[in-house]
Amino acid sequence: MHMPVFLSGEKILLCPVDKNMDLSEYLSWINNQETTLYMSSGDFPTCKEQLQAYIARQYENKNIFLGIFTKSNDKHIGNICLYITDHQSHRGEVAIMIGDKKARGKGYGLEALKLIIRYGFMHLSLNKLCAAVAPDNFASYKLFERAGFQLEATLREQFYLNRSYRDDLRYGLLRREYLEMQKGNTR
Ligand SMILES: CC(C)(COP(=O)(O)OP(=O)(O)OC[C@H]1O[C@@H](n2cnc3c(N)ncnc32)[C@H](O)[C@@H]1OP(=O)(O)O)[C@@H](O)C(=O)NCCC(=O)NCCS
């Protein structure tokens, strides 16, 4: 791996996304209507310059924006981002995309999410992590529930995505719940 590694897991590495790296695959993910079906970013086409500016903004804004790379072949398969949404209340928001369809359903998303959860709670000392999930995004709410998130609220018709209004399922995980889960894992 010739990229700097920020967090390392069993099957994946989380690395900063270099805006000057080959972005052709990443561009194909975010311009793919199926991939972005449940995301807020898919309504308008994105070109390379916009994507480079978006990546630069992530680091300027001090978001924990990381590419997900498979350890076996250094392939960029998706991204995960932790936004610190409230410094005062120690709260963050997580968003994830496994853009490479062939890489879905192999546990990479869950591993990336667990790495970012640990980083958020243990390194950044956050107290709560949140996530927004569309009600029919089965893969996404399975993923967050598997990582220990609980459904906290349904915001009705919160988003207009792909020509229809969608509810926003608000998921949350508290630091103390995470620590309890960790205790359970080592028993
Ligand atoms: C949601 C997403 C990140 C999941 O990543 P992934 O790597 O495919 O998920 P994993 O393989 O780690 O699976 C995690 C859990 O979710 C379940 N899961 C994943 N995809 C699923 C699907 N399509 N249907 C049912 N369950 C699914 C897995 O079975 C696993 O649970 P298990 O361990 O109990 O079997 C991925 O599908 C994706 O990027 N989708 C497009 C973008 C998107 O919708 N992002 C989320 C916006 S909130």
- The CATH number given to 7-186 is 3.40.630.30
pTM over 0.85: yes
What are the pLDDT digits (tens) for 32-88? 988 888 887 777 899 999 999 999 999 999 999 999 999 999 999 999 999 999 999
Under 8 Å between Cβ of 72 and 11: yes
User: Where is average pLDDT lowest: 49-53, 115-119, 136-140, 181-185?
Assistant: 181-185
CA-to-CA distance for 38 and 63, rounded, in angstroms?
21
81, 83, 98, best to mutate for ligand 1 pocket (most atoms within 8 Å of CB)? 98
> Hey, where are the domains in the chain?
7-186
Q: Whose CA is nearest to atom 25 of ligand 1?
A: 139
Task: Report the pocket of ligand 1 as residue ranges, CB < 6 Å.
Answer: 35, 38-39, 78, 96-98, 104-110, 133, 137-140, 142-143, 146
Predicted local distance difference test score (pLDDT) of residue 8: 98
Task: Report the half-sphere exposure of 14 (CA within 13 A, side-chain side).
Answer: 26
From the CA of 111, give the closest atom in ligand 1: 12
